Amino acid sequence: MGFYAVQSLNALSFSMLLLLTGLGLSVVLNLMNFVNLTHGSFFLLGAYIGIYWLASGAPWWLAFPIAFAAAGLAGLLLERFPFRQFYARTHLMQVLLTYGLSVIFADLMRWGFGAQIISPEIPELLRGVVFILDMPFPVYRLFIIGFGAFLALALWLVIDRTIWGAVVRACVVDRGFVETLGLDTRRIFTAVLVVSAGLGGIAGALGAGILSAYPGLDEEVLILALIVVVVGGLGTFRGTVLSSLLLGFVMTFAKVWIPEFSNVVALILMAALLVALPEGLVAQKVRQV
Amino acid sequence: MLLARIAILLVVAALPLALAGDYQLRFLAEILIIGTAVLSLDLLVGFGGLISLGHAVFFGSAAYAAAITSQKLGADIFVMLAVGIVTGMISAIVLGVVVMRTIALFFLILSLIVGQIFWEIVFNWRELTGGADGLRGLPPLELHTGFATIPLTSGVTLYIAAAALAALAYLVARSFVEAPIGRALLGTRERSLRMSALGYSIPRIRLMVLAASGGIAGAAGALYPFVNLYIGPNAIHWTMSATMIIMLVIGGVGSLYGAFIGSAIYLGIQTYVSSYTDRWQLVVGFVFVLTVMIMPKGIVAGIKAVLRRRSGARSVR
């Protein structure tokens, strides 16, 4: 019993990372109709920055805001050039541009941070284990679950319940109309991209504690996040939450029960879901023509 | 005009035989083989508007099928090609049946997932595929004519085989694109709703282009293991698919010939820049991003446009 409780918590902490990364990706995709394949790079950048910050001896809790800020800054610069020129282009061109950029960033980070696997020094406060039904469980993973849930909830509140969120959502429906109200939609899009990149960075800083950081992690995370977003269904917050939970639990328990075939099983399940529900788990109601 | 073109092409194709050494000829053979696979991707991306991140599956599974068959039966080039084409087509049809109902982003992700499932199988099926180590020690490729057996192991013979494959593949792709099916394919890309209103079955057209594309990629994959007498799981990984897309975009989407130019540029950078610096991926990335931003139709079309603009300005004056 305790074993399954602990595994479920493991799955939940992994789902949280998927959720945070997926949300960053889906916010940009849904609100700006922009496919941003550099999102994995933001994650890895956040992971490296978190690790170096924790090793530097500065107050540990600042690592997460710093990772958010660094990735957000990268997002801000990229948004100015060249993302902005590609908002009106086809998804194909966006995919090509951002994939190319992610190749560049991957190599730059390999250059700057080295090619070896590095893990963070987890701060004293989060280091130990707690016993859940007599089974040990790392405190750090509980922290990921709590902090991740807090961030996801905050994002949902901002988008769904505040006037800023309403403005952003209005941009999705009719950008021209928002412009006529005297709002600069370009700045709104900039803000959305910065928040998305920052979320990627903070997810990386959190995730480094269990995934470590190494060249290639950016692509692995990007693919998982893309699967989460697409399987969940475009344009839905609930769908992304649902699919990140699903993928997190399937991957974790597949590793427990059938370690050799865990990835195949998870991939087949996701492919089957996409085939059965091409619109995603939670389909947005779209009028066809 | 056409004859003159063919003559020029033949001379150009024959030049390396006189000038290049064994190593360069092998390298050119690799460029042509990978270029053929990229050419087949162009059918999907350039003409069908289907961006596949699973294209390495057609190429890689055919390469494995050929390599495994060659260990049992020897490596007759025609047997290898037949095995490769059939494997490529079957894997393309498997992918096609799975992804048939999806387009755009969903197609991209689903082809990626299906591709990774294939990769996991190849990676974990150690007895058959050698797992992470891949397969080594393959028998040499051979051409059995009626009276003699010619081994295709030297750079010269490999280059000739690869060039013949590339030329044939180009002709097949060209005729596919120009046939009614190719026109219909363009229609499904541009106006899918109108095409289905006209009575075309879009899934059927897509399945046919996938089969054609898979067959060509499979033929290329069948020869690939014999260039270096090695095949590893990287040939089937999704990053190989992404690399093919990079090559295609650099060379020019929808041009068919651009596939070879793109593969030459990418592999050229990989081989020659990496001997000066570890940062060759940075160079590839920059070339790719610049192509996307400045010359979205590829390097050849981009340079042509620049030249035309210049000569156009002169003639106006």
pLDDT at B26 exceeding the cut of 70: yes
Whether residue B313 lies inside any domain: the answer is no
Per-residue b/e over B46-72, b at no fewer than 16 CB within 10 Å? bbbbbbbbbbbbbbbbbbbbbbbbbee
Quote the minimal CA–CA distance from B62 to chain A in Å: 20
Whether residue A90 lies inside any domain: the answer is yes
Whether residue A262 lies inside any domain: the answer is no
Tokens read off for B58: 């057609």
pLDDT of residue A285: 58
Whether residue A207 lies inside any domain: the answer is yes
Whether residue B84 lies inside any domain: the answer is yes
Question: How big is chain B, counted in residues?
Answer: 317
Mutate which: A230, A265, A284, A287, vs B, most B CBs within 10 A: A230
C-alpha to C-alpha distance for B50 and A73, rounded to whole angstroms: 34
C-alpha to C-alpha distance for B190 and B205, rounded to whole angstroms: 14
| Residue B310 Cα to chain centre, angstroms | 33
DSSP secondary structure letter of residue B139: P
Quote the minimal CA–CA distance from A22 to chain B in Å: 14
Phi, psi (5° rounding) for residue A236?
Answer: -130, 135
Quote the minimal CA–CA distance from B10 to chain A in Å: 34
pLDDT at B147 exceeding the cut of 90: no
Task: State the pTM of this model.
Answer: 0.88
Tokens read off for A94: 């966006």
Quote the minimal CA–CA distance from B286 to chain A in Å: 7
Tokens read off for A181: 């109200």
Phi, psi (5° rounding) for residue B224?
Answer: -55, -45
Tokens read off for B21: 């050494």
Q: Report the domain count for chain A.
A: 1
**Mean pLDDT score across all residues of chain A:** 86
pLDDT of residue B313: 61
- Give the structural domain span for A137: 24-216
* Whether B10 contacts chain A with CB within 8 A: no
Per-residue pLDDT tens digits for B57-108: 999 999 999 999 988 887 788 888 999 999 999 999 988 888 776 667 788 8
- What is the share, in percent, of chain B residues with pLDDT greater than 70? 97
pLDDT of residue B315: 56
Whether residue A204 lies inside any domain: the answer is yes
C-alpha to C-alpha distance for A125 and A146, rounded to whole angstroms: 15
| Residue A100 Cα to chain centre, angstroms | 19
Cα separations in angstroms, A269 against A11, A249, A265, A274, B113: 16, 12, 6, 9, 10
Whether residue A2 lies inside any domain: the answer is no
Interface contact flag, A274 B109, Cβ < 8 Å: yes
Q: Report the domain count for chain B.
A: 1
Predicted confidence band of residue A136 (pLDDT cuts 50, 70, 90): confident
Interface contact flag, A85 B293, Cβ < 8 Å: yes
Per-residue pLDDT tens digits for A116-134: 888 887 777 777 777 877 7
Whether residue A133 lies inside any domain: the answer is yes
Beta-carbon contacts of A179 under 8 Å, excluding residues fewer than 6 positions away, are A185
Whether residue A100 lies inside any domain: the answer is yes
Tokens read off for A258: 């059938």
pLDDT of residue A287: 47
The three-state secondary structure class of B144 is: strand
Interface contact flag, B104 A268, Cβ < 8 Å: no
Tokens read off for A125: 């406060």
Tokens read off for B44: 């999907």
Whether residue B244 lies inside any domain: the answer is no
Neighbours of A16 (CB within 10 A): 25
Whether residue B184 lies inside any domain: the answer is yes
- Give the structural domain span for B138: 2-238
Q: Which positions in chain A have a beta carbon within 8 angstroms of at least one beta carbon in chain B?
A: 35, 82, 85, 91-93, 95-97, 99-101, 103-104, 106-108, 111, 219, 223, 226-227, 230, 234, 260-261, 263-264, 267-268, 270-271, 274-275, 278, 289
The three-state secondary structure class of A131 is: strand
ipTM: 0.83
* Span A92-107, average pLDDT: 89
Predicted confidence band of residue B317 (pLDDT cuts 50, 70, 90): very low
